Amino acid sequence: MRVISRRIALRIAAAVVGAATVVGGVAAGPGFAAPTLGTVAPQSADGGGRHWVTAYSASMQGPSTLGDFGAETLSGYEYTKTAQEIVPPPTTFSDETIRQVQYLHHSGDAVRLQLSNLFGAAPTTLPAVTVGIRQGESGGAVEEGTQRAVTFGSDRSVTIPAGGSVLSDPVDLPVEAFDHLVTSIFVPAGNPPASVHGNAQQTFFTGSGDLSGQPGDEGFTERGIVLNNYTATFTTASYYVAGIQVDADPEARTLVTFGDSITDGFLSSGNTDTRYPDFLARRLQANPSTDHLSVANQAISGGRVLRDGIGPSALHRFEREVLDQPNVAGVIFLQGINDFGTALYQLPAASAEEIIAGYRELAARAHAHDIPIFIGTLTPSGNLARPAPYGTYSTPDTVAKRAQVNEWLRTEGPDVFDGVIDYDAAIRDPLIPDWIQLRYDAGDNLHPNDAGYEAMADTVPLEFLAELSH
């Protein structure tokens, strides 16, 4: 890699160059309508010949997501009764600094931030943003000498239009794959509720006033309760930061993992980076044939292929979250079970034929842009003998439709997609295939635990990915 050593780099004063890219948007009308604007140009906007890939990403959702998601998920959920009394993450901030920790999947000589107001009902003004490398293995303190001011068109303050996003100037901060970056955002009074990603699995921090330039964690309060995988799921969220790009080697490319809660790492252990895309990123970086790939995790827990609900549908967000990534090499898609299983709460259930039609459309849209797309089989969701304890995931109708979709993927899927990854076979019980193996089950017979997510990452054939363009 051409990343210079951190020790040398930290002797260099931060130099911020280039111009910010701001793309406006239009607030949604009555009900939910997926915004058609608010995207970011996929290639470098700074004119300096840099080569950007996405090293961290978070799919944006509306501020109501936190309440809607909690109400739906906890409905009938006997395993986590105590979580019902936990205060959910906030949606609005006033004269506060939000400090968040992001796990990078690739190295680079510089970083730039994509900040989002995609679901904001009014413009959002952020007077001060900083970024640095985390000190130590936990907490929110910044390593000495690494904190940098983030600018937007050379200005410290930025106003993001309703429905829009902004791409910062490049920040000369060398980072390595699997560094934890710390972003600090001062949010003054009067801003609308923040666009949010509802399942962060990572503690965040808030402090009163503008603490964005403070490297230490004095004055910050830890937010979210991360005692185990359940509390991490229900009490943590991330705000504003939709992506972090790094200036990488010319052959580097962005690989997008695109899906729902299983890609999002729902019920993985908090603060441990044990989502399946995290395991996949570490696997790719350890192999010389795939270490040019950076994994961008574009997932929404509870999200569906065909219809909006807890966030935009896959069809509505595909362009923004896949096609608009910088130097995108390919996409791994895993979604569909929520189109069957959450229908009790989110409109009528889709048929297997409708899901397959949606799959075909997504494949066609990727291929129209010469982007390879791989698809995963739908993982087990239980049956009446051992059901998932919420939604309609385990009814005979859902079980039958899941089996029908998987059969189509295994037989006809290779003719539509560039490859089929059999996640179902990797984690299902060998005797009762509607169940997740107990050693891979997070406790709800629907989501894998950390070991299950690692098994999924190990299932991805590296020969698929090694062929992606350098």
pLDDT at 7 over 90: no
Which of the two residues, 251 and 4, has the higher pLDDT score? 251
- Label residue 89 by pLDDT band (50, 70, 90): confident
pLDDT at 262 over 90: yes
pLDDT at 33 over 80: no
Mean pLDDT, to the nearest integer, of 58-75?
68
pLDDT at 21 over 80: no
- Label residue 12 by pLDDT band (50, 70, 90): very low
Residue 68 has a pLDDT of 60
Mean pLDDT, to the nearest integer, of 293-301?
97
- Label residue 370 by pLDDT band (50, 70, 90): very high
Q: Which of 173-182, 272-281, 391-400 has the lowest mean pLDDT?
A: 391-400
Residue 139 has a pLDDT of 95
Mean pLDDT, to the nearest integer, of 195-214?
96
Residue 76 has a pLDDT of 42
Residue 416 has a pLDDT of 98
pLDDT at 353 over 80: yes
Which of the two residues, 291 and 310, has the higher pLDDT score? 291
Residue 23 has a pLDDT of 36
Residue 36 has a pLDDT of 32
pLDDT at 81 over 50: no
Which of the two residues, 335 and 4, has the higher pLDDT score? 335
Residue 233 has a pLDDT of 86
pLDDT at 365 over 80: yes
Which of 26-35, 76-85, 87-96, 337-346 ranks highest by mean pLDDT? 87-96
pLDDT at 156 over 90: yes
Mean pLDDT, to the nearest integer, of 267-292?
97
Mean pLDDT, to the nearest integer, of 239-249?
98
Q: State the chain's mean pLDDT as an integer.
A: 87
- Label residue 342 by pLDDT band (50, 70, 90): confident
Residue 63 has a pLDDT of 79
Q: Which CATH class is domain 251-470?
A: alpha beta
pLDDT at 383 over 70: yes
pLDDT at 2 over 60: no
Mean pLDDT, to the nearest integer, of 167-184?
98
Mean pLDDT, to the nearest integer, of 106-124?
97
pLDDT at 71 over 90: no
Mean pLDDT, to the nearest integer, of 329-341?
96
Mean pLDDT, to the nearest integer, of 373-379?
98
Residue 87 has a pLDDT of 67
Residue 79 has a pLDDT of 40
Structure tokens at 262: 């299983």
Residue 31 has a pLDDT of 28
Percent of the chain at pLDDT > 70 equals 83
Q: In the chain, which segments carry CATH 3.40.50.1110?
A: 251-470
